[in-house]
Structure formats: C-alpha cells, structure tokens
Structure 1
Amino acid sequence: MTNSQRTYGNRRAPLPPAESLADGVPSPRTTHKESARPAPPVRQRDAFFDNAKYLAIVLVAVGHAWGQLLDVRAVETAYRVVYTFHMPAFILISGYFSRSFDLRPKYVKRLVTGVVVPYVVFETAYSLFERHGNDRPDHGITLLDPTYHLWFLCALVVWRVTTPVWRTVRHPLAVSLVLAALGSLSPRIGDDLELQRVLQFLPFFVLGLTLRPEHFQRVRHHSVRLMSLPVLAVATAVAWWSVPRMHVGWLYHKSAAEELSAPWWSGPVMVSGTLTCSLVLTVCFFAWVPRRHMWFTALGAGTIYGYLVHGFFVKAGIYAGWFDHPALREPLGAVGLTVLAAAVITLLCTGPVRRTLRCVVEPKMAWAFVREPAEAARGHARRENTEVRTQGERVPV
C-alpha cells in the first residue's frame, strides 16, 4: 500500500491542477485540516416564542373543547375570552417570523412543503373522516372550503405571498385595517379559502411584520404583567355580560355583518372594536409568557403537529356524542375536559408524533423542485472533492 496516487508501476501520477471553486468550498488540493473553516454560529431558538406558541396551541385545543359546551354560561364566558386573543397571538407571531419572506425559490419551497402540502393532505383526511366517521357518504373533498381549523393554513399562504406588498407600501397597518373593515361589509366574499377570515385577521399578521425584538421586550416588563390582571378581570366581566347580548360569531371573523343579523354599517364598528380588544388581551398574554426555558419550551417547535391533528379528537368526540354527557356540564366535568384537552395537545407536539408525521407535515420533496444554481454548484464541487479524495486513497500494490 502507498499513500500516493498510482497509475503504472511505482510511478506517481501528477495531481490535478488547482481549480477556482465557489466560496466556502475547499480546493481539491487542500487537506481537510487546511480547508476547514469555523462553522457559522448556530442560531438559537428564542425560548419566549416557543413558550408562547405552546401556550397558544393549548388554548386553541381547550377552546375547541369548550366550544362543545356553550350551553354553560361560565364555559362560554371563558371561551369568549380565549377566542378574543388566542388566534391573534398565533397570527402575530407568524407575521413576526415572516418578515424576511419574499418570493425567492427557497422561501417558496418552504411555503409549499410546510403549508400547502400539509393543507392538502389534512384537508383530504378530514373530509374522509367526515364522510366515514360521521356517516355522510355524500360529503365531498374540496380544497376551496377549509375544514374546521384548517382555514389558518389557507390564510397563511395568502398572507405570506403578499408579504412583499406589506413590506413595500406606506402605512401597511392602516391599509390592512381598512381591508379588514371592508371585509365585514359584504357576504358576497363567500367561503372560498375563508377569505373573510383572511381579511379580518390580516391586521395582526401585518402588525407582526412591523414589530421588532424590542417591542416584545416591552410587553414582558413587570409593570405590563401587573396591569394585565385588572384588564383580564374586566375582559371576563364583559364576556359574561356579552353572552346573551352579542353573537359569538363576531369573534370568529368569518362572516359579514348581514350574516350575523346585524346592519351593514355595524361590521366595521364591530371589527374595529373586537380587533382592539384582541390586541389588548394579546399583549396581556405575552406579558405572562415565560422568558426562560421551561419543561414545555421544546414543544413549541411542534405546535403545527398538534394544530393539524387535534381536530380528529374533537370531531371524533362530536361524532360519538361524548360531549353530550351531562357530567361535562358540571364544574368538575368541565375542568376535567380542559385538562384532557391540554394533555392531548401536549402529547401531539412531542418528538414521537413529529417523527411519525414529518413526511406529510414537513416533507423534503427535493424531487419536486428545480435546484438553484448555487445549490447545484455546491453539489458539483462536493462530488469533485469526493472523487479526488477517492483517487488519493491507498490502493493495492
């Protein structure tokens, strides 16, 4: 065995000439030690946002469970308080992390694999579940009318695709508020892709695009946390008062004023009022989100899994009539249901579930996309380096 590259006999073959490669790619003639460069620093996840996402997804699941017990006034009061801010908080965080989104191929790929594909897969799955689990053989599969909670994925696609617009126009938040108000005027917008919700929740996504890290530092101040307590008390009192007086549909932001049996002019007024309340309670929510690593912090990275899957449990309970049990109308029954919903959504955010469903929730799908020139050049350089190292290995004499 020799360490040199061999051709015939014991003569050494000349090494290939040096080539100019892309930045960051070692030359074939440099050794591994020489070509090694310090690895870029690993970007740490912010525990605050992972905690916020986990707590918000727990509230989503609990809210969906409470939604089956709205004949109990105390439950509906808590339901209205939660529904005022839990999705706005989620949407604001989504906007904040979409600030760098543009229509470059790498972002489009992430949008397709991380939002569009999961929507298609789970929309189909929920439609089949409705057909067979609820004994509705005539229930069809349509991708234009999102099932249950999947509207958020449709909205996220629209919001992210329009992100360059909101990053370009002057006064984007004001424009989004006008669109939200206009969206409440006419029922003709229809249910396709839940455009009513897309428009009426748009201001929170745009607000997230305009925020900076220091804004979140301010809401986490101790004084904000203290002020949030009386605000929450007032919100609870108002929610209790509103149960027989205000249609809960105003909090869903999925209908025009006429569809809620209200005059057309009340749409912009109610949308403006409910969005203001949502913003105040969202600030209160962020004020109480822990800033340090907690036992549930790691689960914040898997909230999309819990969001997509937990609906099967809620719908199964509806189909089987579990929510009709009289015990759930008792205080202990409602508390038990709350704990169960929080436990189920927590389990759905864990590693085993994420590993099992990653193929449909976060698929790679490299086969579906054209390789970018820079990526192709890096792959070509890696292949050349591999060939040179292979040729330089010891060979039998």
Structure 2
Amino acid sequence: MKKLDYYIIVPYITLLFLGVLMVYSSSSFVALTNTQNSATYFRNQLIYITMGLAGLLFFYFLKTWLLKNKKILAYALGVMFFLLVVVLFAKKVNGASRWISLGVFNIQPVEVTKFILLWYTAYILSRKQYAIEKNWTQAVWPPFAVLFLVAVLVLLQPDAGSLVIIGVVMTIQVFSSGMPFRVGFASTAAFSGLLGIYIRAIYLFRDKMPGISEYRLERFEAFWSPFTLAEGAGMQLVNSYYALSRGGVLGVGLGRSVQKTGYLPEPHTDFILAIIGEELGLAGVFFLLSLLFFLIIRILYVGIKSKDTFSSLICIGVGTLLLIQSVINIGGVVGWLPISGVTLPFISYGGSSMIVLSCCIGLVLNVQKNSR
C-alpha cells in the first residue's frame, strides 16, 4: 500500500464523494416521484461505489502476468461477445436495448466491452512490437477486426456514442504502439473529414438521408435548433441552458435546483453537470472538471513514463477513455455536441460505468505500483 499513487487515488476518491453528493441532490425529486423515497438513487449509488472500490482493489493487487495470460483474455472476449448478443434480446428502453436486467442490478454490456477491448488491444499490440516496426499493417489488423464485430453488435442496440468512444480509445492505443506518425495523422484527418461530410449530409438531406433513424435525426435536430424543439427533442438541452444560466458563478445553493424538479429529464445521469452548474455555479463546475482532468493527465503521464509496452498502452487507453467520455458528456450538456447518453465519469448515476471505470483506475494503480 506504500506504493499507492496518491496523485491518482485522492482525485478519484474526491470525485466519488462529489458524485454521490450530487446524485443525491439531483435525483431526490425524481426518486421521490418514482419510488416514494428521495434517497433511492443515492443508496444505489453508494452500493455501486462500494462495488467499484472492490473492483479497484482486485485489479490493484492482481498479478500482472494474469492480465497477459492468453487463455484468460480469450475467456474475457467470449463473455464480452456473449453479453453483446444477449442484450439485443433484452427489453427496449427509449427505443434501445442496452441493459440486461439481473433483478436488483442492470448490466450494460457496452461498459464491460470498453474495459475488455482496452485490455485486449494493449495485450495484442504489446506482443507485436517487432511486427509493427517491420510491417504495421499486419500487426494492427486483429484489434480492428474485433472492433468491426463489436461495432455491428453495438449499432444494433443502437448505441453510437459508446461505439465512438470505443473506436477512439482503440485507435489512440494503436497510434501509441509505434505506428508511423504520418499514418496516424493521415488516418485521423481522413476520419474527421468523413465524419464532417456525414454530419453535413444529414443537415442537408434530413430524413432523406439513408441509414439515419428518426430517433437519431431528432438528436441532430435538437443539436442544431434546440429552442425550436423546446417542447420535444430539444427539451434536455434547453433546460440544461436554463440550469447553467441560473447557476451563474457561485450557484443557487446545494439542493436548490429548479430544473431537477421535472423540467430537465434524467438530471442525475447524462445531465448531472447542468444541475451541478445550477447549484454550485461555474466555480463548482470548474473545481470538479479540474479534478477530473488532473486525474486524466496523471494517468497519461504514468503511461508515458512506463517502460513496459503493455502497461503503457493500458494507461493510455484508460486516460483516453476518461477523456473522450468526459468531452462527449460535457459537449452534450453545453450544446457543443449532439446528446449521446454518455455519462460523466465517477459523477453520473449508474452502476456499470462506475464499476468498470473504477476497475480501470485499479489497473493504472497496478502499473504505477510495478513501476515504483
């Protein structure tokens, strides 16, 4: 325990404390309405945090050679694909099948997928370092082949936001493994250009655009003209603006949010940052995001300093996962990006995300422990 990295564990614990406090505040009205108990989501979040801490400790004390065991990784991939197939037959919520109900607990397979693919990519690329130097195309096709299979299953749910996160994390890991810089730069520029063309095409052709569902089109419409659709698809973003505007610099006070009382849908999950902005103001948001981004920078630093390729790619993957997920969530709350349903790490209500990300922190602490 003397080798524990306090630059990682202290921000992590602080974020958990702030998160559970804001989950209680933001969910109290919804919980009282749905379950007649204002502390329902708060109690559940405490359980998720406890399970997350258990996962963190498990991966912190886990021997590194077990993570590099080919059979264990193969079993993990098998479980991942099994869950991704099973969830397609689960009950749909808001037009999507993303959760497997276990009675008292719901599993979101895509969160487990993030962790296993991050692990798999680090393993496979660390084993192919010589091949990457000689012929990088042959070395990097296995992770992208697995990514293609995962993409098909995730899009069937559908969950485009999570797929973007998974794709970016794996791509950054591949670029960090020794691929020539020009190839990485050209690939990134090409992908960004195609994505821009795709979004522009949706804007021009709207419902005539092939392959675009009505639900996804509404998300883009709400992104472009939220106040025009304030009574429908734009409701979340408009009420997020109201919450942030009302909070000002110092906020209206903890527990005094108006938007959480039936105006802002799901205030304790995707849009918890808007409630934080309303109650704690810009100062509270800045403090919270400073902690989160300090944690991300520290994780990336540990990865860069690590002399073991597998450990380095694990840390780079975890840091990228936290960064991309945070950017997508924040972008949706402030209207910079379309709303995607992605949670804010360690702050938003949710079990699968909390447990998986805590396990990721445990992996990073394990890497740092071995480095020391």
After TM superposition, the score normalised by the length of structure 2 is: 0.31
Higher helix share: 2
Larger radius of gyration: 1
